[in-house]
Structure 1
């Protein structure tokens, strides 16, 4: 019978585009990882992957087993939890790179200090991609921008914090002479940028489209254009001598960032701890307490 380790390795494979990439994460050779997957299929009596000479692709049966296997892992990791003083186990979490540079980056560090036995595995990407992965059970949860669309009934989104959308441009250049650097419009943050432009009736001509807030900020620093971006918490805006910050138009718009998760999953105690942390931060800020 397959061990918990084999089940964990199966979940790792579902998060990566190839067995080789997953093998690097779990510390096995691709051949050894492949043998474990074959062992799991033999124990269950069901083929979980479609195979050809060059690739191994998760099939419908494999996708259907992601959530049940995650539940088994969660139950195993929770054994003895009632005898421990803090959280333990693991959480596979999708996170925007910009969220790691924002308030969530600080939270992640504090959670690791507070709960040393808690393992949070971070996978970076885009909000729209994370939605599909959370629904499929590949991710336990994800830190994402608020969706501009109605979410499926199987998932829920809880607001954690917000970032004001700001206009930035190089200090030593006339903004009117510069091209606009647009965040990828097909992403959730990109749609929010478009909302800022429309609501304030801004006249914009784009010359570049980039899907990274961090890359856009750096391009502006280099004097290559101006942009509308969320005001990330961990960027030292006041000390950056190369960038000028202003509010785009008269209507302030905020990017709301929150926790996306399935309504039913085995890591609720961990996601609840993340939500509780942000509630405490908000309460402290309202009370004027510096953290």
Structure 2
């Protein structure tokens, strides 16, 4: 009779698939590479077949290894659902919640929610700032419990069916310039900014994509002089007169530097802030409590 497969070792095999190496998997789970190798060797004996193809260049999963990881995903999801059922029965707010979030939401929403959640001594919260694509990948891989992402006009974000989303806020994008540097008075048309120099997030950031696409739709390519995904630096660069920016209102930190903020009249642009979580864990009290606090902070 073949021995039962150990769930903890299945989790390690999945980590190797996700991270691409035993060393990276070991760092993720807090073990030494030697300990992970030993556990995987035991798993191979349990499985009765090689699961990893080891070479000087690293490790790859064998066909059997890939098949076992596919099953491991289902098993780990079932265990997560079982954990959610038990937590829901006890109603206890204890455990670790890992949040990935865009920077502007971290400052404006997540920080406030985290402060209120700190009242529950047994609930541990960690926050990582990342762009939506990376947060969603980490959520799917099980490295995060909640991803706070933003969705801009013209830049769709694919969300798999087995993730659930909670709407937090919808806000307009505004024009930001140095004091007295913006033309005219009142709302601005994007086409009126075609000759301006720009300070802008990079193209791989959703905001940077959305604003560039909007400018091109108006018939011009923005003259980007400063490019950064650091919103504090971006606002300081605008205040110093290095260019203008079009940003979500929450991304403009009023206490960083003096700027002039005007509505964007034509075309109007907006972004939605969403909180995503796995359907298998959404009923856990600590996940639901965190989502509730994020909604309150956005309210």
TM-score normalized with structure 1 length: 0.70
Q: What residue number does 2:189 align with?
A: none
Q: Cα–Cα, structure 1 residues 215 and 71, in superposed 2: closer, same or farther, change >3 Å?
A: farther
Q: Which has the higher contact order (CA 8 A, sep 6+)?
A: 2
Structure 1 residue runs without a partner (length 5+): 286-291
Secondary structure of 1:86's aligned partner: coil
**Residue pair 2:173, 2:247 contacting (<8 A) in 1 also:** yes
Shift of 1:103: 0.9
Q: Conserved in 1, the CA contact under 8 Å of 2:212 and 2:222? A: no
Q: 1:206 — aligned with what?
A: 224
Structure 2 spans left out of the alignment, 5+ residues = 184-192
Shift in alpha-carbon separation, 1:160–1:17, aligned structure 2, 3 A: farther
Deviations along 1:21-63, one digit per CA (max 9) or x if unpaired, are 5544544333334434444555456766554324345774435
Aligned length: 278
What does residue range 194-273 of structure 1 map to in structure 2 within 5 Å?
Answer: 194=212, 197=215, 204-221=222-239, 223-232=241-250, 236-237=253-254, 239-249=255-265, 252-262=268-278, 264-269=279-284, 270-273=286-289
Q: CA deviation at 1:104?
A: 1.8
Within the candidate set 93, 100, 104, 1:98 is matched to: 104
Structure 1 pair 60–5 and aligned structure 2 pair: CA distance change class (3 A): closer
Partner of 1:185: 203
Aligned partner of 1:148 in structure 2 is: 156
- Alpha-carbon offset, residue 268 of structure 1: 3.0
**TM-aligned CA distance change 1:249 to 1:39, over 3 Å:** farther
**Larger C-alpha radius of gyration, 1 or 2?**
2
Q: 2: distance between equivalents of 1:211 and 1:40?
A: 43
Equivalent in the alignment of 1:68: 75
TM-score of the superposed pair, with normalisation by structure 2 = 0.68
Which has the higher mean CA deviation after the structures are superposed, 127-136 or 11-20?
Answer: 11-20
1:139-163 Cα shifts (integer Å, max 9, x gaps) = 4431111362564433332211234
Distance 1:121 1:32, change over 3 A: farther
